[in-house]
Each structure stands twice: as C-alpha cells, then as structure tokens.
A and B are shown apart, each in its own frame.
Chain A
Amino acid sequence: MTQPVVEAESVLAIDISSAQTRALLFDVVDGQYRFVSAGEAPTTARAPFFHIGEGVQQAIQRLSELTARNFYDGTGRLILPSDLSGNGVDQLAITYSLGPSLRIVTAGLLEDISLRSINRLAASLPGQVLDSIGLTDRRHPEEQIDALLKAEPDLILIAGGIDGGANRSVARLAELIQFAVQILPSEKRPEIIYAGNPDLAARISETLSPYAPVSAAPNVRPAMEIENLGPAYEKASEVLTRIRSRQLGGLADMAKLATKDPIPTQYGFGRIIRFLSQIYDRAKGVFGLDLGSSTITMAAGRQGQLCLSMVPCGLGIGLTRALELTDINEVLQWLPGQHAAGDVRDYLYNKTLFPDSVPVTEESVMIEHAMARQLLRLGMQRLLSDWPQLTVSFEPILASGQVFAERASCWQSLQILLDGLQPIGITTLVLDAYDLTPALGSLAEINPLLPVQVIESSAYLNLGTVIAPICRAKPGTPILEVRVEYEHGEEARLEVKQGSLTVLPIRPEQAANVHLKALRPMQIDPLRGDQSHSYRIVGGACGAIIDTRGRPLVMPPDPEKRTALLQQWAAELR
C-alpha cells in the first residue's frame, strides 16, 4: 500500500530533448503525489537562439496557462520555493537528451574484461566509440596516439586492473593518453573518467590532470568475475552534464536554479528501471525503452543491476544515423501494400531535413511507424550485443517516447512494440503515456516517494499482457488450448493457431485466470520455473494478446504475401 505523503512539496521537472522542451508539474493530490500537467515548447538549443532558456520559459508559460498557476514573479524570476498563495514550485529538476553525438575513446587492458566493461559504460552514453585501446592492440604507440588525435574525443574512458591488481600496464596506458591529450588544443581536450584499479587513481590523475579534467569512479571490474557499472553510470552522468553545459547555451544557468544537478535522460530512465527490477519478477527482470528524437535508450534491470545501452538513432534528428545503419528493405518489410523503396527512402531522408516535422497522411504515419519498428530492432540488437547474456523475456516492458505518447493509438503502439521488440514468454506492456520516466528518475534523488506514487497512478497505461510462446509448428497448426476463467465463474475457451495474433476476451481492467494447454511441444515462458501454465491476468487497454508468430519474426520476401500477412495481423488485433 502506498505511503502517505509526509511533507508535501510541489516539483517542476524540465525535460529537454532535441525537439521539445517540456515542463512537468508534480504535486500532491488527495494525499498522494501525482503528475498534474505538462507544458511543451520547441527546444531552442539550435539556431537562431543557441540557448535552451527561451524554450524552457515558453514550456513553463504553457504549463502556467494550463494550470492557472504562476511560476514566475513580477521580475521574471522562477518562484522557488512556492509562496503562500500557491504560486511557484518547491523543487526543480532537469533532465536532457540533446547535444551532438559524443565522441568517445575507451582504453582498458584485456578485451573480454576491463575493455568490455568500459565499453559497456560507453554504450550508456549518447555517442560513438571511435577508438578502443587495449593490451592486445597491435598498433604502434604512435599509431594509437594518431588514432586518438583523429578521434578528437569529448570523453576518454579508462579502466584496467582489478582491485589490488595490475598497475604497470594501466600506468602505461595513461602515459600514452597523456602524450595524445597534450597535443590537442586546450579547447578540444576531453574529459577523462578513470574507473580502473583504485590503487592507481591518484597516479592517473597526477599524470593526466595537468592536461584534461580527470574524474575517478569506482572500478568497473573490481574482480575478474564481478562487474560493477552502477557508480560509474553516476559519474558518467555528472561528466556528461559538464560537457553538455559547455556545448549547450543556458544549461549551466538552469543548473544553478535546480535542486540537484541536471541529469541525462538515459540515466534518469535507467534509475527507474533499476528500481522497478527490485520490485517486480526478480528472475525475469524489467525492461524499458525510450524512443526519442535523437537517441534510443534500452535499459534492462534484474535484481537491481542495470544494463543500459544507447543507440544514437531516433525518429527525428537521429534518423540520419539510423538510415546509415539500415537497409531500406528492413523498413519496407513492415509496410503493407506496394511501396517503392526509393519513395520510402526519400520520405525518411526528408524527415532528416525537417526533424521536427510531423506525419500527416496515413501513408506517412505508416512509414514512420515502420521506421519505429526498425529502430526498436536496432536498439534490441545493440542491447543484446552489449549484454549477450540477456534474453528478450521481461516482466514488465515499459515503453516511453513521443511516437507512443502522441503519434500512435494504443493498438498501434502495441503492434510497434510487439514487432520491434519481439518479446518472448509472458510480459506486460506498459506505456509511459506522458513520457515521465526520465524525469521521475531525476526526481528519485530529490524525493524518493514521488516516483513510487506516480508510477502507481494512472499516468502509466497498461497496454496489455502478451503471451508469446516459442513453438516450431507450421503456421496454421493449432498449438494452444486456452481457457479464460473470469472472477464471477464464467469461462471462455478458444484454440490458438501458430502464426497468429489472438486477442483474449478480457476487457480493460478485467481480471481473469488464463489456463494454457500446449497442443504441440513449446516453451511458454523460458525464464519462469512455474510449469502450471495458469496465469492471473488483468486486461490492459488492449486486453491480453497471444502472439504465436514465432521468434524471430520472419517476413515473406514476396510483397503480396507480406501484405496479406500484415493485414491479417492488423485484422486480428482489431
């Protein structure tokens, strides 16, 4: 049961993405923290303003209009804390997800150990690893120096040596980096994070800090078999904010007003996923995705451990990079009807020219939804490549992003998530309908009670429970007998065939016990020990769905057959 609020404080969270700036108001309603409203305005980080302040002010102004609450005093200053007449807010938090793709170089000792861990840390950042230097690197030192100079990194991440372990090799790495960094012009010198053997932290700082700012984080690999990325994520968040404060006009000024330092969206998002993973099914873990304009964040939490991956691709400004990584046929496979590859490519490249523009026609919506599926595929591939031990079986899956919040119906969102993520087993799909999760992550530090109570509120939409068994039967073969037992004792029975999407007769918010009987050999939920195949389900906005299309989804190359299949699935869901 939710705890009562001890000390009520209103909170304003500013969330700045490359396209939109949002001002989110949280306050106490009937003794519980609730999301109240959001004001939105275009982000003004780019020309002609090059200052985020204008967009923030407009978003707060819009929020003020919606809530009839003043946030600024007569002199144009934010009222912080709130006054007796209820104007202003008590706390201010900032999250951001904009800025140029970060140029990253990583350095470590062994490829499968420290270098892997530091590359995983790099994967949590919105950028590209342009070079990695390790012990097994066969290049001459001068070639490594030139590679590092060519990369012109914004950030160098160094790891190596377990606690109390190797130090000479790590010191040599630092010397090499020192040679390179001192050549760079002072305004291009990178931030450096050292997250290796702590015995060397002081020496590394002594070697490198005359040339570049050095931050030490706890060892990402304290022992050969132990990886500890959590504290390094926090340090990376702090360093990224410093970098962005230099790159983005106005962020440093806004930070002075905030209750805590601004944090990058992905770390706010990651905090919530890690927190939820301690509450929900500890064996399966919780998964979250945030599909933004410039980046995709994929976060998997299991028993409080977080796996975080970012892909510098999105549906707005990040589309250019996504198209570089995508064969246009991978987008076409999700489009019913005849579409010329060239037309779809032209449409998507035009979107890169006007990233803030929106799809108006049904066809353009279909193309953007097809691209959203492909972006989720790219994100999932990245997550599984960074963390090969993960399986796509989680409970629940939390989806966030403008495409779900504003540009797709519940059924469209469900279909994009099913096709893009292709979850296995039994999972609940939850939609962050107001795109609150990153902000809640930043607020967790200020007010731990607030995220807990908001997540329990109606701000999050249960799309539905999905049962996706793995079976090798031929399409059309009956593979499951399903008995739905309602609370008042009535029952419904149905047979499910391989290769279909079946909506169970469970209404939104209706509870039922679902009993499954396998008619063919199959795996219903790979990470669940319980073999009873009976589940209690509460219907989401789309009820509950059985997805027997197989994994991975293989689409027919023939456009006519593919169209028929896509239309069949769309009809099954309606």
Chain B
Amino acid sequence: MFATVTHMLPKTSFRRARTLPVHGSVLVRAGQTVQAIDVIAEGVLPGRHLLIDVRKVLSLRDAAAAHKALERKAGEKLQKGDVIAQTGGMFSRVIRAPEACEIISIQNGQVLLGTLGEPVELKAAFPGRVVEIIPEFGAVIETSGTLVQGVWGNNLTATSLLEVVAHSPDAPLTRADLDITLRGSIILAGHLSDPEVFDAAAELPLRGMILGSMTADLIPAAMKQPYPIALLEGFGKLPINTVAYRLLADRKKDDVVLNATWDPLMSQRPDILLPFPVEAELATDWVEYAPGQTVKVLRPPYASQVGLLVAIKPGLTSFPGGLRVPAGEVRLETNETVTVPLNNLTILD
C-alpha cells in the first residue's frame, strides 16, 4: 500500500515548478542560478473589456456598413482618443478609444476592446538552479538544504531569517511574544488561538509565521494576512512534531524560505527550506509502507506523535468506532506501541 510522505530532511535536494497564472515571458534559462527573490517570469493579467456596437452608435443600417466605417483592424493597439470608426462626410460621427486599449475582435459590426491589465511577476521562491523551462509560464527550480513540509498554508511566500519563538513544541503564541527584535523575520511558534496576534505580526511587521497548529476559526483571518503562514500539524492545539522541532528549533538566524502554497487537489503542501548547497539525492515523494519507517500519526488519539512502524498487521483490523481497515503497529516515542490505520499515518522521510 502506498504511503504519503512528509519530508523532514536535514539535507536534501528537491524540485518545485513555479508558474504564472497567465501566459507571459520566462526570464531565465535552463542551468541558470537564481535567488529566492529573483523574478523568473512576468506577464500581464487580463484587463477589462468594452464592447462597442458600431452599427448602433453610428446609426448605420447594417453590419456591412459598420465594417465599412471601421478604420482599425483586430490586434491594433490604441491610445485614448484614437479613432476607431467614423461615418465620414461633413457631419462625420466618430467613435474614439475611451482609453489605451487593444482591439481584440471585430464581428458583426461590433468591436471588442481590451484594456491593459496589471503586470504580474513570478519570483523563484527558492534559491537554486533552473532545471527546466515551462514555456510561457515559468520554470522548474532545483534547490537544496533542510526541508520541512507542512500541512496547510495561506498561499504566500517569503524569505528571511528564522527566529524561534516556540520554547517548546506546544507553546502558545501570544501578542506579548512579538517584540521588536523579531521585525522582518519568519518565526517558528507552537500554537495559535488568539486572532490579535495576526494584527500584531502585521504591525511589526513579521515576514512569515511557521506554526505547529492553529484553531480552525482563524482560517479566514490567516488567509487575509499579507505574510505567509504555514501549519506543520493542523488545526486545534497540536504540538510541533518532535522531528520537525529538532530540525528547526536550533536554526535561529539561519536563512529560511517559507513557501506556504497549499492546494490539496494538486497535492501541494507548504515547504520550509533552510537553503545551503549540498550534494544530496532528490527527495522521494512516495514509498510503500514497511516496518522500520519513521511515521507521524495524523489523527486522534495520537495526532502529531512520531514513532516507528514496527509491523504491518495482516488483513483488516477492527477499531473501537467499528471500522475495519489495514493497520500497522507503531512504537511511539513514549515507548507505547499502538495500532493505527495505515491511512492515518504519514512517512517522515
């Protein structure tokens, strides 16, 4: 049976595709070295559209007459005031471009104009090497360092220095914890349940937040914050798992890239990268369950606890709720051995 893998790797290489939401130009080439803040592609978001019925506006008898009155073709770029169509003669009626725009299409006596939209830039998000170009959209970047994966994020990205606020894996984050020394940093903290902390973080400002857990009622507020927020464990009051805590807690002041992208349909999870050059094999994204693997339990009653998969039970196992599913025996760090459905485990690798 396949297992989901959550990366907790002190030294690794991995690849991430970075793409624009629209067509655009890719500004890097394969093999090029990039920094996290480098713009690797740019494009223009679609603007508004204007539909002008030339026949109606110029009071012409049919579409053919409208086409005759047109002085422009599809694809032409116009400045504000440029003539689009006119009847001619002594009392010529004229249609002018209301603003800078492009003629998108002309059909049946109607002209569709498109105004210019906002430019959009795509940053590399990770320092590394471009290994593949995705024409018109972006590139695949290979990077290396310490990698810790989260489970939820608010889809923003930032780079800064790591500050460790979590004195223990389950320490609550309060407004009082956010002092001026943290300004501009990405913090690692245990648990958040106070919405006021978001405002305090924005005021400082912080560049990002890595949390063990957060109460689910804070999701709407987290989505509105201007800085990335990633959860390592989930919602509720869950401590940071011991493996992640060991990897991150003693890396104070190290460079950190927080990519809080989360898209369950595309299986995208937040990445926390502490970059440094290292020769390492690419991280594997899947394995089959096997005894000896380090696992994390995803659901109650042992949620976020780390252990060793000591055996996979044959057939189906019954649980108190009445469920019968494939399961494994896990020796937790407390030395207690528990039976957990395989579906409720992720491999830490």
Q: Which residues of A does B touch, CB under 8 Å?
A: 41-42, 44, 46-49, 54, 100, 140-142, 145-146, 149, 175, 178-179, 182-183, 185, 317, 320, 342-343, 345-350, 352-365, 406-409, 412
Which of A320, A357, A362: most chain B Cβ within 10 A?
A357
Instruction: Enumerate chain B residues within 8 angstroms of A408, measured Cβ to Cβ.
Output: 322
Which size bracket describes the interface of B in this complex? Answer: 35 or more
- Let me know if B235 and A360 touch, CB within 8 A: no
A358 to B110 Cα, complex, angstroms = 57
- Let me know if B322 and A365 touch, CB within 8 A: yes
A135 to B135 Cα, complex, angstroms = 41
**A349-B323 in contact given A100-B265, A360-B344 (Cβ < 8 Å):** no
Residue B138 is within 8 A (CB to CB) of chain A in the complex: no
Residue B91 is within 8 A (CB to CB) of chain A in the complex: no
A178 to B105 Cα, complex, angstroms = 10
**A357-B344 in contact given A346-B236, A349-B235, A352-B264 (Cβ < 8 Å):** yes
Q: Which residues of B does A touch, CB under 8 Å?
A: 1-2, 22-23, 46, 48-51, 104-105, 107-108, 110, 112, 114, 151-152, 215-217, 219, 234-236, 264-268, 285-286, 298-301, 303, 319-325, 340-341, 343-344, 346
Instruction: Enumerate chain B residues within 8 angstroms of A364, measured Cβ to Cβ.
Output: 299-300, 321
Instruction: Enumerate chain B residues within 8 angstroms of A356, measured Cβ to Cβ.
Output: 343
Instruction: Identify which of B110, B216, B301 contacts A346 (C-beta below 8 A).
Output: B216
23 A-B residue contacts at CB 8 Å? Answer: A46-B265, A142-B48, A142-B50, A142-B51, A146-B49, A183-B49, A185-B23, A317-B264, A342-B215, A345-B217, A346-B236, A352-B264, A357-B299, A357-B344, A359-B321, A360-B300, A360-B301, A360-B320, A361-B320, A365-B322, A365-B323, A406-B324, A412-B322
CB-nearest residue of chain A relative to B47?
A: A146
Instruction: Enumerate chain A residues within 8 angstroms of B46, measured Cβ to Cβ.
Output: 149, 183
- Let me know if B343 and A358 touch, CB within 8 A: yes
A419 to chain B, nearest CB (A): 18
A135 to B169 Cα, complex, angstroms = 59
Instruction: Enumerate chain A residues within 8 angstroms of B322, measured Cβ to Cβ.
Output: 365, 407-409, 412
Instruction: Enumerate chain A residues within 8 angstroms of B341, measured Cβ to Cβ.
Output: 357-358, 360
- Let me know if B51 and A353 touch, CB within 8 A: no
Instruction: Enumerate chain A residues within 8 angstroms of B217, measured Cβ to Cβ.
Output: 342, 345
- Let me know if A350 and B303 touch, CB within 8 A: yes
The count of A-to-B residue pairs whose CB atoms sit within 8 angstroms is 144
- Let me know if A42 and B321 touch, CB within 8 A: no
Instruction: Enumerate chain A residues within 8 angstroms of B112, measured Cβ to Cβ.
Output: 142, 145, 179, 183
Instruction: Enumerate chain A residues within 8 angstroms of B114, measured Cβ to Cβ.
Output: 183
A173 to chain B, nearest CB (A): 13
The dominant DSSP class at the B interface is mixed
- Let me know if B319 and A360 touch, CB within 8 A: yes
Which of B2, B49, B104, B151: most chain A Cβ within 10 A?
B49
Instruction: Identify which of B298, B323, B324, B325 contacts A354 (C-beta below 8 A).
Output: B298
- Let me know if B267 and A350 touch, CB within 8 A: no
- Let me know if B236 and A360 touch, CB within 8 A: no
- Let me know if A355 and B264 touch, CB within 8 A: yes
Instruction: Enumerate chain A residues within 8 angstroms of B105, measured Cβ to Cβ.
Output: 179, 182-183
Instruction: Enumerate chain A residues within 8 angstroms of B343, measured Cβ to Cβ.
Output: 356-358
**A360-B51 in contact given A49-B286, A353-B151 (Cβ < 8 Å):** no
- Let me know if B286 and A353 touch, CB within 8 A: no
A503 to B47 Cα, complex, angstroms = 64
- Let me know if B323 and A350 touch, CB within 8 A: no
A220 to B319 Cα, complex, angstroms = 49
Instruction: Identify which of A44, A140, A350, A359 contacts B236 (C-beta below 8 A).
Output: A350
Instruction: Enumerate chain A residues within 8 angstroms of B320, measured Cβ to Cβ.
Output: 360-362
- Let me know if B104 and A183 touch, CB within 8 A: yes
CB-nearest residue of chain A relative to B286?
A: A48
CB-nearest residue of chain A relative to B265?
A: A100
Instruction: Enumerate chain B residues within 8 angstroms of A363, measured Cβ to Cβ.
Output: 300
- Let me know if B48 and A350 touch, CB within 8 A: no
A340 to chain B, nearest CB (A): 10
- Let me know if A149 and B299 touch, CB within 8 A: no
B327 to chain A, nearest CB (A): 9
- Let me know if A46 and B266 touch, CB within 8 A: yes
B243 to chain A, nearest CB (A): 18
B235 to chain A, nearest CB (A): 4
CB-nearest residue of chain B relative to A345?
A: B216
A561 to chain B, nearest CB (A): 26
B175 to chain A, nearest CB (A): 20
A294 to B245 Cα, complex, angstroms = 34
- Let me know if A145 and B49 touch, CB within 8 A: yes
A209 to chain B, nearest CB (A): 15
CB-nearest residue of chain A relative to B152?
A: A353
- Let me know if B234 and A353 touch, CB within 8 A: yes
CB-nearest residue of chain A relative to B53?
A: A141
- Let me know if A357 and B298 touch, CB within 8 A: yes
A408 to B217 Cα, complex, angstroms = 29
Instruction: Enumerate chain B residues within 8 angstroms of A141, measured Cβ to Cβ.
Output: 51
- Let me know if B49 and A149 touch, CB within 8 A: yes
